[in-house]
Amino acid sequence: MEEPLSAWFQANGRDLPWRDTKDPYAILVSEVMAQQTQVSRVLPRWERWLELWPTVRALAEASPADVIREWQGLGYNRRGLNLHRAAQHVAAHGWPEDLTDLPGVGRYTADAVACFAFGRDVLPVDVNVRRVVDRTGHEFSSASAQALMDLGATVCLARVPRCEACPLATACPSRGQRFEPLRKQGPFEGSFRQRRSATLRVVSEGERYPASGSAFVARTQGAPIVQLSGRPRTRPRAARRRREAAELAAGCTSTMAAMVGSLATLLIPVWILLGLLFLLGSVALLGRIQGGRYLRPLVALIAKVPLFRRWMQKASNAALERSNPELASAMKKMQRTGAMRDPMKAQAAMSQLTRDERRALLDLQDQQGSGVPPEATNRQMRRRLEKAQKNAKRR
């Protein structure tokens, strides 16, 4: 597998500047920076770092504050401090035989520096190399280290590998498979890492001046914010009390708002019930004033809606059937024969009615002609008969 891998690397390998040097210090800096940081972000920072401290002795002579200030943006500031301590160790004692003796240098970083800088026959295994080795089941030599890193970073991806572009696909037993995603780190926005980075940035960029004796204070925008030693010039108790009072007021306000919102939610059914009662009371009152004079226009307006008109007709017919079934049956027969619209057909329709139905219809006509109050009869039937009579006179 190493022959096609080498050919692929010659054509598709990443052009990284630390691959053009054998300086163990430059390679160590690149490996430490690339730990859990994207290579695209490491490239400009690596070049700037070597411009500031081109040798391991130059870094060893720098102050930890300068190192932290330059490391800002790469994350995990402890890596920068460990790199600074490792440079101090190398400047004092030289490069050790076992590179894991350096502060912050683990097995992979030690193997990478040993392979790429000192030419030792050891394969540095990071997550990308481990992924390719596990999926292919092949043991690779140290000569394929950089090719394996690029293959795992660009082709043999963690979840959905690009097997169609892989030079090892023909002999790979894992070709075409999909894999479960590994646990990812939480978002940086709003995390403790972001707050820690902002604090360190303020501390490192602040103006320092003597506070008392050998003490110094990080200063920004004219106000001391961090007391490193000595007596603080600000009054932290007063500031803390003001902050606690503000937090208490904000908590009380939010609690009251939540209580009011909950109470309003609980009272929604009560408000709905009160609205329905008010509507029913208004309708009943309009029906009693002057015999329903003010209610009739409202009912007529509602009756223009087809849905309500059908509902009102069904309700009226049902009420008539309960109060006077003979009259209801007679009205249905008269409507089917068309006698309600054509008086000429009324005589023929009357002959089809039973004795009880004819008597109920005649009683209704007598009541309407004798000046009986409208409330004594069914209003809906009376309006239908009046309308039919008006249409008959027009014709």
Residue-level pLDDT, tens digit, the chain, 395 residues: 889 999 999 999 999 999 999 999 999 999 999 988 888 889 999 999 999 999 999 999 999 989 988 998 888 888 999 999 999 999 999 999 999 999 999 999 999 999 999 999 999 999 999 999 999 988 899 999 999 999 999 999 888 899 999 999 988 998 888 877 665 556 656 666 666 666 666 655 554 444 444 444 444 444 444 444 444 444 556 677 777 777 777 777 777 777 787 777 878 888 888 888 887 777 667 666 655 666 667 667 776 777 777 777 777 777 777 777 777 777 777 777 666 566 666 666 666 677 777 777 777 666 655 444 444 445 555 666 677 667 767 66
Enter the tokens of residue 287: 């029906």
The span from the CA of 192 to the CA of 188, in Å, is: 8
- Quickly list DSSP for 251-263: HHHHHHHHHHHHH
Residues 7 and 125 in one domain: yes
Q: Is 317 within a domain?
A: yes
Domain identity same for 199 and 164: no
Q: Which pLDDT does position 4 carry in this prediction?
A: 92
- Residue 12 shares a structural domain with residue 117: yes
- Among left, alpha and beta (phi > 0; psi -120 to 50; other), residue 149 is alpha
Tell me which residue of 395, 392, 388, 391 sits closest to 340, measured CA to CA. 388
Report CA Rg, the chain. 47
* Residue 149 sits in the same domain as residue 18: yes
Separation in Å, CA 155 to CA 164, 171, 231: 9, 15, 58
Whether 286 maps to a domain, the answer reads no
The answer to the question of residue 149 being in a domain is: yes
Q: Do residues 30 and 101 both lie within one domain?
A: yes
31 is catalytic: yes
- Smallest Cα–Cα separation from 159: which of 133, 182, 136? 182
Residue with tokens 């009390």: 241
Q: Are residues 53 and 6 in the same domain?
A: yes
Indicate whether 102 and 202 sit together in one domain.
no
Same domain, 8 and 124: yes
- Indicate if 206 and 108 belong to the same structural domain: no
Please give the residue range of the domain that contains residue 142: 2-171
CATH code of 67's domain:
1.10.340.30
Q: How big is the CA angle at 337 (ends 331 and 343), to the nearest 5 degrees?
A: 85
Residue 300 in any domain: the answer is no
Position 198 in a domain: yes
Position 7 in a domain = yes
Q: Is residue 46 one of the residues assigned to a domain? A: yes
H or E, element range at 56? helix 56-60
The answer to whether residue 241 is domain-embedded is no
pLDDT at residue 124, rounded to an integer: 94
| Structural domains counted in the chain | 3
The answer on 157 and 9 residing in a single domain is: yes
Q: Are residues 70 and 217 in the same domain?
A: no
Given 2, 31, 47, 357, which residue is catalytic?
Answer: 31
- Say yes or no: 208 and 331 in one domain: no
Tokens 């540095």 locate to: 124
Domain boundary among 105, 139, 171: 171
**What pLDDT is attached to residue 336?**
72
